[in-house]
Amino acid sequence: MDTDRLRNSWHVVSGFGSQVPLFFYSTLFLTHPQVREMFPAGMSGQRDKLLGALGKVVANVDNLDAAVPFLQQLGRDHRKFAVTDEHYPAVGQALLSTLEHFLGQDWTPALARDWTAAYGLVSDVMATAARESAQASPPWYNAEVVRHERRTAEVAVLVVRADRPLGYLPGQSVAVETHLRPRIWRYYSPANAPREDGIIELHVRMIDGGPVSSALVQAVAPGDLLRLGSPVGVKLTVEHKQDVVLIAGGTGLAPFKAMLGQFANEGFQRQVHLFVGARTGHDFHDLTGIRAFGRALPRLRVTPVVSEDRGFPGARGLVGEIALRYGPWPDQDIYVCGSPTMVAATGEMALAAGIAAERLHFEDFSGYDSLAEPGPGIFQGDNSA
Ligand code: HEM
C-alpha cells in the first residue's frame, strides 16, 4: 500500500472544501436512505465531522498501531448512533465514490485498491471493538438528572445518575444527548472519579449557538433523562506515579476534579499543583469543590488565576502563562484542559519554555489531527469553550 499516495490524494480532495462532505452525504443518503435517520436533522456546520476524521484516519493508515486505542473507543462510541457491522461498507462505498468524483483522472485502479484496503483496516478495528463491547455494555446509557445548579451566568453543574456504571477513567469524556436536541451529541468530561452508583457530575458551559450546551444549562431539570455514550479519550488520563501540574481554563476544570478524586484514592501522595483560570473572580464555578480535596491531598496546591479582573486579590494573567511562571517543572507531567485557544496558547508557551512535548498532555477530542501530526493537539469538547 502506497501511503504517500493515499495522503496526497486526500490532500487534493480536501482542497474542494465544503463540496466534499456535501457530495459524500448526498451519495450516502441516496444509496442507503436507511442511515439518514442516524444523523441530526439539520446537519449544517457539522457536516464534515465524520468525513474529516475518516479521510485523515484512513490516509494515515501507516500509523494505525498508534491509532488503535482511539479507533476502538470510536467504534464502541458509534454504537450510540445504532451503527452496526453492515453500515461500514455503506460508508466505505460513499467514501470511494467521493474520492473518485473529486480526483477525476487521478483516481486509478491502484489508488482505489489502496483506499479500499486502508478503509477495510480502519473500519475493521472499529467494528470489532463495537462487536466485542456489545457483550458487556449497552449501546448507550440512560442517565437521570438528579441535581441541576446554575453556578454562574454561563455555567451549570449537573449531577446525573446513569442506569449502570460507565467504567470511565478520570480524564476521559462521554458524549451527552438530551431529548430536547435529539441526535446531537456533545462530549463532556465527568468531574468525579467513577462511582459504583453511576453518579456523574458534569460541568457545562453555555456556548453561543451550541444547541446541546444551551439546553443543558438553561432547560434541563431534575427528573429529565439524558443519554450518555461510551467513554472516550486517550490523552488526559494519568496512569503513572509522577507529580503533576494541571492547568484548567473554565469548565476544563472537570477532568482535573475527577483526577483529584482518583489521586485521593491512591495509596501514595503525589504533588499536584492545580491552576484554575477564569475571566473574573465571579467566574470560578467550583473552587469550593476543589478545595474540599485539601484534607485528602495534603500535597495539593490550588492557584486561581483571573485574566480580566483588576480587583482580584490573587494571580492575574493568562492561566497558562502564570502556571509556567510558577515553574520550572523539571519532572512534572503537565496536563492542560480548556478552550481550544487556551490549550493551543498554553501548549506553545510550554514548548517555548523548554518543556518536552512528551510531558505535555492535552486531549484532541477528535483525535484525528494527532494521528496525522503526533504532538500537541487541541481539545475540542464543549467542556472547554
Ligand atoms: C472508519 C469508519 C468511521 C470513522 C473513522 C468515523 C469517525 C467519526 C467521527 C470522528 C465522528 C465525530 C464524532 C463526534 O464528534 O461525535 C463521527 C460521527 C458520526 N458517525 Fe462515524 N465514523 C466511521 C464510520 C461510521 C459509520 C459506518 C456510520 C454509520 C452510518 C457512522 C455514523 C456516524 C454518525 C451518525 C455520526 C454523527 C455525525 C454528526 O453528528 O454530524 N460512522 N464518525
Give me the residues paired with residue 159 across strands. 147, 201
Atom of ligand 1 nearest to the CA of 380: 15
Question: What's the pLDDT at 379?
Answer: 29
Q: Is 51 in the pocket of ligand 1 (CB under 6 A)?
A: no
Q: Is 61 in the pocket of ligand 1 (CB under 6 A)?
A: no
As a whole number of Å, the CA-based R_g of the chain is 22
pLDDT band at 208 (very low <50, low <70, confident <90, very high): confident
Range of the domain at 152: 141-228
Please give the distance, rounded to the nearest whole angstrom, from the Cα atom of residue 78 to the centre of ligand 1. Answer: 7
Q: What cell does 290 get?
A: 476543589
Q: Is 126 in the pocket of ligand 1 (CB under 6 A)?
A: yes
pTM for the full model?
0.89
Statement to judge: residues 18 and 123 lie in one domain: yes
pLDDT(372) > 60: no
Please give the distance, rounded to the nearest whole angstrom, from the Cα atom of residue 50 to the centre of ligand 1. Answer: 4
Q: Is 143 in the pocket of ligand 1 (CB under 6 A)?
A: no
Give residue-wise pLDDT tens across range 146-181.
Answer: 999 999 999 999 999 999 999 999 999 999 999 999
Q: Is 25 in the pocket of ligand 1 (CB under 6 A)?
A: no
Q: What is the CATH number of the domain that holds 177?
A: 2.40.30.10
Domain boundary among 136, 160, 175: 136
Q: Is 50 in the pocket of ligand 1 (CB under 6 A)?
A: yes
Statement to judge: residues 125 and 145 lie in one domain: no
Q: How many domains does the chain have?
A: 3
Pocket probe mutation, ligand 1, options 39, 49, 63, 384, max atoms within 8 Å of Cβ:
49
- What is the SS3 string spanning the chain? CCHHHHHHHHHHHHCCCCHHHHHHHHHHHHHCHHHHHHCCCCCCCCCHHHHHHHHHHHHCHHHHHHHHHHHHHHHHHHHHHCCCCCHHHHHHHHHHHHHHHHHHHHCCHHHHHHHHHHHHHHHHHHHHHHHHHHHHCCCCEEEEEEEEEECCCCEEEEEEEECCCCCCCCCCEEEEEECCCCCCCEEECCCCCCCCCCEEEEEEECCCCCHHHHHHHHHCCCCCEEEECCCECCCCCCCCCCCEEEEEEHHHHHHHHHHHHHHHCCCCCCCEEEEEEECCHHHCCCHHHHHCCCCCCCCEEEEEEECCCCCCCCEECCHHHHHHHCCCCCCCEEEEECCHHHHHHHHHHHHHCCCCHHHEECCCCCCHHHHHCCCCCCCCCCCCC
Domain boundary among 136, 171, 197: 136
Asked whether residue 378 is assigned to any structural domain, the reply reads no
Question: What's the pLDDT at 2?
Answer: 86
Pocket probe mutation, ligand 1, options 77, 78, 128, 371, max atoms within 8 Å of Cβ:
78
Q: What is the CATH number of the domain that holds 77?
A: 1.10.490.10
Please give the distance, rounded to the nearest whole angstrom, from the Cα atom of residue 250 to the centre of ligand 1. Answer: 28
Q: Is 81 in the pocket of ligand 1 (CB under 6 A)?
A: yes
Share of residues in the chain with pLDDT > 90 (%): 76
Atom 8 (ligand 1): residue with closest C-alpha? 50
Question: What's the pLDDT at 382?
Answer: 39
pLDDT band at 195 (very low <50, low <70, confident <90, very high): very high
Q: What is the CATH number of the domain that holds 318?
A: 3.40.50.80
pLDDT(66) > 90: no
Return d(Cα 90, Cα 94) in angstroms, integer.
6
Q: Is 46 in the pocket of ligand 1 (CB under 6 A)?
A: yes
Asked whether residue 239 is assigned to any structural domain, the reply reads no
Give residue-wise pLDDT tens across range 173-185.
Answer: 999 999 999 988 9
Domain boundary among 90, 108, 136: 136
pLDDT band at 53 (very low <50, low <70, confident <90, very high): confident
Asked whether residue 382 is assigned to any structural domain, the reply reads no
- The whole-number average pLDDT for the span 81-102 is 96
Please give the distance, rounded to the nearest whole angstrom, from the Cα atom of residue 145 to the centre of ligand 1. Answer: 27
Atom of ligand 1 nearest to the CA of 57: 5
Q: Is 248 in the pocket of ligand 1 (CB under 6 A)?
A: no
Asked whether residue 123 is assigned to any structural domain, the reply reads yes
Please give the distance, rounded to the nearest whole angstrom, from the Cα atom of residue 137 to the centre of ligand 1. Answer: 19
